[in-house]
Amino acid sequence: MNVFQTPIGRYAPGIMNVVIEIPKGSRKRYRYHRKRRAFVVDYRLMVSTPGEYGWIPETWAKGGKRVNAVVLARRPTWGGNVCEVRPIGALRRRDGDHQMICVLLGDPAYEALRDIRDLDETAMRRIAQFYEPFFPLMGWLGKDAALEFLKETHMTFRDRLKKHGAASVIEREDADEFPDEFESDDDDQTPEAKPAATPPSPTVSEEGTRAEQP
């Protein structure tokens, strides 16, 4: 199975698919190896993941990358699993490549969560602390703004597909060997050597966003 061919889902953006790369609680960093058609592991994570970590199919965010997501769930799954999720908000990035925050569809522990505001501050800080060593954070987006961002990145994907064909999308996705958020901005630094940033405050913004057009 080629996971890059996974659809975003019939009911997106309210309910959508997420391809899981890193199971909840893992410190192992996984990536999909196109030629092997399997997930391979690399030991580079500094902290364990606060939820299932993966990416949203048929999206095209800044720099031609898929939109990444943290999926809150009671139990971990495995790399390559495709989960149906409900978006509740997003963690804002300075460069506009926001990280979606979702809950696993049908998980009773998170059934009452409808917006990022419903998430307790401890959980929000855990999510922020997972990301903070790798890129600057700019607070949070509420559900409505996050859904708007997701719609725009999906539309950008569809427009590129229409203009340039499926091969251009697949080739660009296959070239993404590692998600940028786990890479150092300086080639001479490892992620462990980068200074930690201050976790963003739990302030939630409903400011609209626009995905960068190719």
Give the percent of the chain with pLDDT over 70: 76
Is the bond preceding residue 191 a cis peptide, omega within 30 degrees? no
Read off the pLDDT of residues 116-147 as tens digits, 9 standing for 90 and up: 999 999 999 999 999 888 888 899 999 999 99
Which residue type does 99 have? Answer: Q
Beta-bridge mates of residue 22: 53
The whole-angstrom distance between residue 142's C-alpha and the CA centroid of its chain comes to 15
Residue with tokens 């060593």: 133
Determine contact, residues 173/4, Cβ cutoff 8 Å: yes
Beta-bridge mates of residue 128: none
Take residue 196 and report the two structure tokens written for it.
Answer: 């930690």
Is pLDDT above 60 for 174? Answer: no
Is the alpha carbon torsion for 198, 75, 183, 60 positive or negative?
Answer: negative
* Nearest alpha carbon to residue 174 among 52, 2, 8: 2
The pTM assigned to this predicted structure is 0.78
Mean pLDDT of all residues in 108-112: 93
Given this model, what pLDDT does residue 201 score?
A: 54
Read off the pLDDT of residues 7-64 as tens digits, 9 standing for 90 and up: 999 999 999 999 998 999 887 777 777 777 777 776 677 788 999 999 999 998 887 7
Q: Is 84 helix (H, G, I), strand (E, B) or coil?
A: strand
Mean pLDDT of all residues in 53-77: 91
Given this model, what pLDDT does residue 124 score?
A: 93
Take residue 86 and report the two structure tokens written for it.
Answer: 């409900």
The CATH number assigned to the domain with range 3-205 reads 3.90.80.10
The whole-angstrom distance between residue 27's C-alpha and the CA centroid of its chain comes to 17
